[in-house]
Amino acid sequence: MSGRALALVLGAAAFAAPFPTPHDNQKETIPVLKPADALTRLHLPEGFKATLFAAEPDVRQPIAMCWDERGRLWIAENYTYSDGKERFDLNLRDRILVLEDADHDGKFDQRTVFTDEIQMLTSIERGFGGVWAWRCRRDRRASRPDPT
């Protein structure tokens, strides 16, 4: 990345608007389990084990995820898709998170917001030195280098 492009990216990040608080437009009709309680309800094949890596409020509205070569979990959070009537609420934004387990205990220790300046996010994938984000528009994908 050239110095001018890097300065432009860093300058834009410094003046970014705060992340809007998403609203919950769906009534909960069943009791919501605590994450640790949900683990006890899983039925796994013999020899398999499930652990809790991350949960709300650290991750909200996940729509897609993938792992990178360093063992980090990349998560696409979708806040803009509202419901069948409203479709997309463009007053909100989506974001991509990176969760890392630096001490290898099976739980994330570091949470990084890779970007929160995207809308109508549908999926992500890592590769070719960056992250690919797919959106619901003509410009269906955008690529951005992974700075870490």
Whether 140 is in a domain gets the answer yes
| The total number of structural domains that make up the chain | 1
Whether 76 is in a domain gets the answer yes
Whether 109 is in a domain gets the answer yes
Residue 23 has pLDDT above 80, yes or no: no
Q: In which residue are the tokens 């205990």 written?
A: 105
Interacting residues of 38 by C-beta distance below 8 A, sequence separation 6+: none
Whether 12 is in a domain gets the answer no
- Is the CB of residue 19 less than 8 Å from the CB of residue 119? no
Query: pLDDT (tens digit, 9 = 90+) per residue, 42-69?
Result: 999 999 999 999 998 899 889 999 999 9
Residue 114 has pLDDT above 90, yes or no: yes
Whether 6 is in a domain gets the answer no
pLDDT at position 147 = 61
Whether 23 is in a domain gets the answer no
Whether 86 is in a domain gets the answer yes
pLDDT at position 28 = 77
What whole-number distance in Å separates Cα of residue 124 and Cα of residue 113? 14
Whether 28 is in a domain gets the answer no
What residue numbers bound the domain in which 102 lies? 59-148
pLDDT at position 96 = 94
Give the rounded percent of residues in the chain with a pLDDT score beyond 70. Answer: 74
Pairing of strands 94-100, 73-77: antiparallel
User: Domain with 141 in it: what CATH number?
Assistant: 2.40.10
